[in-house]
Amino acid sequence: MAASGNSISDVYLIDAVRTPFGKAGSLYAGTRADDIMVRCIRGLLERNPSIDSATIDEVAIAAASQTGDQGMNIGRSASLLAGIPKTVPGYSIDRWCAGAMTSMTTLAGGIAMGSYDLALAGGVEHMGNHPMGELMDPNPRYIAEKLVDQDALAMGATAERLHDMLPHLTRERADKYALNSQLKTAKAYEAGKIQRDLIPVAVRSEELGWGVATVDEPPRPGTTLEALAGLKTPFRPAGRVTPGNAAGLNDGATAALLASGKRTEELGLKPKARLVTFAFAGVEPEIMGYGPVPATVQALAKAGLSIDEIGAFEVNEAFAIQVLAFLDYFAIADDDPRVNPYGGAIAVGHPLASSGIRLALNLARTFEEHPEIRYGLTTMCIGLGMGGTVIWENPNWNFGKQDNAKGGK
């Protein structure tokens, strides 16, 4: 007799939060990575008192550098430290920048096939404690056998390569895009649209003692085009990538709750988004910033949608050129209001493995504000030549107010 499997289930994003992001080794210099993650998990559960943590079926936490205070299977260890019952299992996951995105999609697969009803995804990166590439030992065959060019192992160099590939995407356009990211973030802060989802974290400084982190440290609201134009290009002489048109090195954590349709209905939960589909794709490692393009093409094909049916975009801003390349491919204007309305990583920071959930969190807020939008997507490039895209549906979609040109189908 054949075994009977569980039915396919819808997957919903119930809630998502993050900690304030800090500059690497600054705001969180005296705070452990696992403690940042623990506070984020606790904050998420405190915001959702109707959810009994004992009923969580799985915890998946991402970190790009899984050593020290980000090691010891941080999915399991952070779960235990956060007070989640010991009966709830957990694991760690790594897809570099797309770690948190992958924790969501991996758990979503389990929910869709009926193995889970409720799961907790997360991501953390303390780049102050663990600089990018710490303890990595790339196999010499990469270079000796020319599997990749040397540039593929330096993210800034890959961004310069993307400028080479698309010369019409100039430094001036990258700087202007970066300025707009800063301005949009400042505007969102003024309106209180970012602070509402930040979980305060206790921090300790040798000079100042104990304090509480409540806002992001990296934003530079006073940025000007003139100041950006004067910055040096550290990855290539007379290059185009600068500290001003790229995300910085950052510390922070994110967490999200995902649930099946059955559990959502049982608990009377109000979901923030429905996961439609997702795709990850590979590209030449030397132009890893191009990864979101094929990933999005594949995800749209799986969903049976066109790019014109996407009404909101959250694109991770590892580098301005990476976002511009994505927008250029899909013929979307650099300043299209559908893209990153709260600003992006150039302003708030990019603590590697955590950023995928920040994108989903921002998109969910856009869904709340715009019931005329039916579909949105989150997308990001990934080191060593990959991209990831998740397509989401707005549960607030107003069926009677369709905007066929801007994602209301």
Residues marked active site are found at 97, 350, 381
Q: How many Å apart are CA 287 and CA 386, to the nearest integer?
A: 9
Q: How many Å apart are CA 136 and CA 361, to the nearest integer?
A: 31
Q: How many Å apart are CA 115 and CA 307, to the nearest integer?
A: 32
Q: How many Å apart are CA 199 and CA 180, to the nearest integer?
A: 26
Distances (CA, A) of 133 to 61, 136, 151, 308: 19, 5, 14, 38
Q: How many Å apart are CA 119 and CA 263, to the nearest integer?
A: 11
Distances (CA, A) of 330 to 325, 335, 370: 9, 13, 22
**Other Cβ atoms closer than 10 A to 392:** 28
- Per the CB < 8 A criterion, the answer to whether 87 and 54 are in contact is yes
Q: How many Å apart are CA 290 and CA 321, to the nearest integer?
A: 9
What DSSP string runs through 210-222?
EEEE-S-S---TT
Q: How many Å apart are CA 40 and CA 20, to the nearest integer?
A: 10
- Per the CB < 8 A criterion, the answer to whether 14 and 340 are in contact is no
State which H helix or E strand residue 176 sits in.
Answer: helix 171-190
Q: What is the token pair recorded at 179?
A: 């300025």
| β-sheet bridge partners, residue 396 | none
Amino acid at 69: D
